[in-house]
Structures are given as structure tokens and as C-alpha cells.
Chains A and B, each alone.
Chain A
């Protein structure tokens, strides 16, 4: 097998936080022994609820945060040892909120051209025009300010800026969550087009499972810092093996009439990242929990072509 485009091995990241004002700091494990591989041209969906560590994992992939343990390789090269100027040509991010990620006092052409000006290479003006065309923005918007654009157009600017250095990997952190439904579809279409045209490798982080199902080739589900299931998109949606994945899928409300509300039986408690001891992390909320789940540390194992971290699956 060829070298994967992205390879995370045994990533661990902890933070020390005080839960109350005067309390002693405690350790919060944001990402726990996470390993991921994404092949060239593949799109990996990374899903999970707030606090599951998906954004921390993204920051580590981008080299914006150093893990406590583990290694990150992009295109076969260790990212820790790589100078920034090399890294930015390999991997680029798109974030959730283009209102926050674009400087409001810079023109669109400046915003898109900035990475090229910083890191050099090529005719900035020509490249900016090419990028505008690639992401479907009319050239006349080159001199506009972000405030003059709609939400969807702003996200297109953010995508153009991410792609101007011709990276091989695009990390999308909730790129459609801040957008309206009618605009969301435009951006999803654009990402599909770019993936096909440029052969981009993508990591697509989202809590919207319908969007992930549409875009991703493979999906990894995280819960409290751990990967609890990973499978081909079709297999994961047809036959989820972890009870948490099943709950997530059931909780996704489809726009179909008469569906009613799912009965999740998860209890009113939420995932508590501090309350981690032995046993399965999902046990406090799991509808199928047994005594042994609370005792035994759950290991990731292969099952039906995917990976799952549940002894009862």
C-alpha cells in the first residue's frame, strides 16, 4: 500500500484546567491515543459532539498545536520537524465562520493573495484571478470587502485563500455550519468539485451527519477524545456498530414528515471529560451497558471491515 497522505499515530493531548475558581488544576485528556490514516484523494469525515476532541485533533494536524505524544506525518513527512513554509504548501484549513476568519478591512483580492505574498511564488494577481474563477466568484468582487459579500461568498473567499498555495490536504472544520441551508448546498457542491478536479485529500469535521454522509468516503466517530468507531461511509450509516454511533444517527433529524422524535435512552447526563476512569467512556450514557463495560478498558478492534471500541458490538 502506498504511503497515506495523512498519518496520525498515537496522538495524545492533555490540558490542565481548574474546574472551579480555587480548585487545584486537573488533567483533561482532549485527545487520547488517536491514530488516523487518510489516503491520497480520500475524504475522511470526523464526527462527534462538542468536547470530543475533534477540533483539538484538527489543530494538531495543522501543526497549530503540539501533541504531548504521538507523531503526525503529512505526505510521508513528519510535521513537527517541518518548517512552516513547507507545511503551508502541504496542508491548509477552512474554518467554520468566514466572518471571523476574514479580516474585515482587507479587500477580497488581498485576502486571497496574502498566503502567496507571504510565502512567495508566482504572479499574485494572476493567481488570485484564477482562484476566484475556481471557487465560482465573479472577478468584479476582487475589490470588495468581506462585509459586501454574502455568507456563502465569504466562505468561497476562505476556500480560495486556502487553495492558493496549492496544498495537497484541505482540513475543513465545520465549513457549512454557519451557513444557511440554501447556501450550504452551494459550498458542499464546490468542495465536491474541488476534490474531483484537484485530487485533494480532505478531512471534513462536522456534527452534521447528513453532510458528512454526503461528502466523506470514510468516517471516524470520536467520543471524549477517543476514536470509538471508524468505517467506510456506507457501512457506518447502514450498520453502525457502536451504541454511541447508533445514538448519533438516531438523533439526526431527517426532514421527513411524521418521523417524530427518536427515543435515545441516553439519560440526562452529558459527556463529562473529567469523569474518566477505567472502563468504557460511554458507559454512563450507554443504553446497553453491562457491569463488565464499566470495568474493562475498551480497545479498538476490527469488526466487519471497520474499527469499533465496544466489547459488546
Chain B
């Protein structure tokens, strides 16, 4: 049986604001098995980054985070506080961020930054830690790694800095890697290379990944499974192939239609854009959050709870119309 590295049920994140409680993540369930790459996709404000930060225990203390079940790497963290999560960070689970330039300290050598964590957490000697850092830099494709440990971040290009961030995340030998838009700040040719590094790591180390992105091209390239988020909920969860060939949620369908695809979309044609905008998340919300922008919406879509159609383990959609279509056919 494959090991379940992450199992979260009913994750909720709320943030107090001047205008009331902002319910940014409104009850999501996530499950990542060994070797899976789960992509969390959605537009800005859909709660994808907050979900990752909550899992890492990196949210500020004023954020209210609750879960019914929270298990990670075989440990039950349900209801546990920041201290327990901090123990997991860097060892069982590690994270990389969008902008490697702001994530690296410009005044410390790359070697210092890579080794700092493991020298403390695993009590490795400087020599042992350097050895591991060399190994990790080599693994992410930095040539001449030993010499480069003594260099400062400015001596590396943007793509190389992101490779260093990945190496740094690997230092504690995590089993789950969470990457928040790891290639968004990079050029497309560099993006392809970094995604290649992540793919290789997964094959070589059996790493599981949760990758947050808004780019469906990135999803198509490396995801095994996809969760499409909208307004703080998972609208649709599916194996990557199913999501692209038979999207079930009207929002997923709209997103896929709205992107021009070279060689497919007629040049200069009007793109089928999704009208309107994402709803505000302050206060309670009733019914389907997408209904104001949905061409299929009917009166029932304003009612709670929106039914969930489970196609198979690891594939569901939350939509009245999708459920209706399934019962008819």
C-alpha cells in the first residue's frame, strides 16, 4: 500500500480584517500519497498559498486555522500548534517559494545558508553538512558545487538561485516538498529546466510534491493530480489527464477555454473569457461561489451545501449541474 504523506480534512483559514472575518480557505480536503505531484491551481485570492502556509505552520498567529483531521508523514497533527509544526518543517516537509532572490540572504554564503538548518536540527558537523550541501547542489544541477558553496547569492543567476532554494529544501531529506509558484519569476526556458529538476528529484528520491501554480501549462507538464481552487474551496479534484480531457466543473471548463493555445485557437479570434470577477470572501457565503459567473447557474446553486460528485477515489467535483448531468446520463 502506498503511504499517505498528507491527509487533511476540512481545513479552514480565517483572517480578521477591519471589515470582518475573511474566510480565505473554506473547508478543503487534501490527500497526497507517496510519489504524487498534486498541483493546486487557481487565481489570486483563491486560498492556494494560504493552504500551503497553513500546512507548513507559517501563518501569523492572528490567522485562525482549524482542521478536522491533519496527518502528515505518519504523525497526527490535528489541533497541534506551531511548535509541533516547526519540528516537521525542513525534515518531513519543506517548502520553496516564488522568488529565490528574496528568499536568500545576500550577505551569507550559499554554503552557510544551506547548512545552517541541518547543523542545528541534526547536529551535523560543518564538514558533514558541507558534504551534504555539495551533494544536494550537484543533484539540482549546479556545476562545480564544492567551490560554489563559498559564493554569495549575487554570483548566481535567477534560475541557479531557484536551484539553490530547491537544494536548501532538500537538505533535511524531506518526504514532501511544497513549492509555491516556483517558476513564476523565471523565464520560460529556465522554467522548463527547473520543472525538469523537480521531476528528476521525484523520480530519484521518491519525493512527493504539492505544487502551487496559476499556470495550467505547468500543471499539464508535471502534475499527476490537480485540485482546482475557487474562492477558498476545491471546486474540482482530478487526475491530471482527466482534468484536461474531461473537466467537470464549469469553472475548470471556462479556464481551459480562456487560454489561447498556439495552433489550436484561431489567431485573433475572440477568446471565451469568464465574465465577472471573484467574489469577496468576507463573512459567510451561501451556495456555489462561482454561480454569478457561471453560464449554467440555476436557482438551486444559491443553496447550501453544494453537492459533491465523487467519480472515483481522487476525483470529485462540487457542482449542482455536474451532479445533475451525471444522474441524467
Residues of A within 8 A of B260 (CB): 185, 188, 210-211, 213-214
CA distance A189 to B268 in the complex (A): 9
- Cross-chain contact A255 with B217 (CB below 8 angstroms): yes
- Is A254 within 8 A of B192, CB to CB? no
- A264–B277 CB distance below 8 A: no
**B69 interface contact, C-beta 8 A:** no
If the complex has contacts A248-B188, A248-B189, are A254 and B214 also in contact, measured as CB distance less than 8 A?
A: no
Q: Which residues 162-196 in A have Cβ within 8 Å of B in the complex?
A: 180-186, 188-189, 192
Query: What is the minimal beta-carbon distance from A243 to any residue of chain B, in angstroms?
Result: 11
Q: Give A237 to B264 CA distance when docked, in angstroms.
A: 12
A181-B216, A261-B196 are known contacts. Are A251 and B157 too (CB-CB below 8 A)? no
A257 near B193 with CB under 8 A, answer: no
Q: How far apart sit A260 and B222, CA to CA, in the bound complex (Å)?
A: 6
Other-chain residue from A214, A247, A252 in contact with B271 (beta carbon distance below 8 A): A214
Q: Which residues on the A side are within 8 Å of B221 (C-beta)?
A: 253, 259-261
Closest residue of B by beta carbon distance from A266 = B189
Across the interface, do A210 and B193 meet the contact criterion of CB distance under 8 Å? no
- What is the 8 Å Cβ interface bit string for chain A, positions 146-159, against chain B (1 contact, 0 not)? 00001111000000
> Within 8 Å CB of A264, what residues of B?
189, 192-193
The minimal Cβ–Cβ distance linking A108 to chain B, given in whole angstroms, is 16
The reply on A50 being an interface residue by CB < 8 A is yes
- The verdict on A268 contacting chain B, using a C-beta distance below 8 Å, is yes
A85 at the interface (CB under 8 A from B): no
Chain A positions within 8 Å of B191 at CB level? 251, 253
Give the CA-CA distance A210 to B220 in the complex, in Å.
15
Residues of the A chain whose Cβ atoms lie less than 8 Å from the Cβ of B43: 180-183
B160 at the interface (CB under 8 A from A): yes
Contact between A182 and B188, CB atoms less than 8 A apart? no
Shortest C-beta distance, B324 to chain A (Å), equals 24
Q: Which of B188, B192, B243, B259 contacts A181 (CB 8 A)?
A: B259
Residues of B near A215 (CB, < 8 A) are 268
Of A207, A237, A259, A269, the contact of B263 (CB 8 Å cutoff): A237
Contact A189 B189 (CB under 8 A): no
Taking a contact as CB atoms under 8 Å apart, the answer to whether A182 and B270 are in contact is: no
Specify which chain A residues have a CB less than 8 angstroms from the CB of B258 in the assembled complex. 181-182, 184-185
Contacting residues, chain B, for A269 (C-beta < 8 A): 157
- In contact, B262 and A213 (Cβ under 8 angstroms): yes
Complex Cα distance, B270 from A91, in Å, reads 25
Q: Are B220 and A255 in contact (CB under 8 A)?
A: yes
Please give, as numbers and ranges, the residues of chain B lying within 8 Å of A188 by CB-CB distance. 260, 271, 273
Give complex CA distance A203, B21 in Å. 44
Is the beta-carbon distance between A257 and B245 smaller than 8 angstroms?
A: yes
User: Smallest CB-CB separation from A213: which chain B residue?
Assistant: B262
Which one of A180, A189, A272 lies within 8 Å of B44 (CB-CB)? A180
Instruction: Report Cα–Cα, A49/B143, bound state, in Å.
Output: 23
A250 to B256, CA, bound (A): 20
* CB of A291 to closest CB in B, whole Å: 22
Q: How far in angstroms is the closest Cβ of chain A from B163?
A: 8
Tell me if A251 and B189 are in contact (CB < 8 A).
yes
Task: Check A185 against B273 for contact (C-beta < 8 Å).
Answer: yes
A270 interfacial contact with B, CB 8 Å: yes
What chain B residues lie within 8 Å of A183 (beta carbons)? 43, 273, 277
Query: Quick one: closest B residue to A152, CB to CB?
Result: B277
Do residues A254 and B261 form an inter-chain contact, with CB atoms below 8 A? yes
In angstroms, Cα B216 to Cα A185, docked, is 14
Selected from B187, B254, B275, the residue in CB contact (under 8 A) with A207 is B187
Closest chain B residue to A211 by CB distance? B260
Does A258 make an interface contact (CB < 8 A)?
A: yes
Chain A residues within 8 Å of B215, by CB: 253
Would A49 and B220 count as touching, CB distance under 8 A?
no
Interface centre among B142, B216, B254, B267 (most CB of A within 10 A): B267
Contact B160 A268 (CB under 8 A): yes
**B240: CB under 8 A from chain A?**
yes
CB of B190 within 8 Å of the partner chain: yes
Q: Which of B217-237 contact A (CB under 8 A)?
A: 217-222
Q: Which residue of B lies closest to A43 (CB)?
A: B268
Residues of B within 8 A of A186 (CB): 273, 275
Say yes or no for A256: interface residue by CB 8 A criterion.
yes
Say yes or no: is A57 at the interface (Cβ < 8 Å to chain B).
no
CA distance A27 to B222 in the complex (A): 40
Q: Does A104 contact B (CB under 8 A)?
A: no
Q: Name the residue of chain B whose CB is nearest to the CB of A234.
A: B267
A253 vs chain B, min Cβ distance (A): 3
Contact B160 A270 (CB under 8 A): yes
Q: B143 touching A255 by the CB < 8 A rule?
A: no
Q: Which residues of A110-154 have CB atoms within 8 Å of chain B's CB atoms?
A: 150-153
Residues of B within 8 A of A150 (CB): 277-278
Closest A residue, CB atoms, query B199: A261
Q: Do B262 and A210 touch (CB < 8 A)? A: yes
Q: B157 to A257, Cβ gap below 8 A?
A: no
Q: Is residue A262 contacting chain B, with contact meaning CB distance below 8 A? A: yes
> Can you list 11 residue pairs at the A/B interface with Cβ under 8 Å?
A50-B187, A153-B277, A180-B214, A181-B216, A185-B271, A189-B270, A210-B261, A251-B189, A257-B240, A270-B187, A270-B190
15 further A-B pairs in the complex, CB-CB below 8 A; given A185-B260, A233-B267: A180-B43, A188-B260, A189-B273, A207-B187, A213-B262, A214-B269, A253-B217, A255-B219, A255-B220, A256-B244, A261-B192, A261-B222, A268-B141, A268-B159, A269-B157
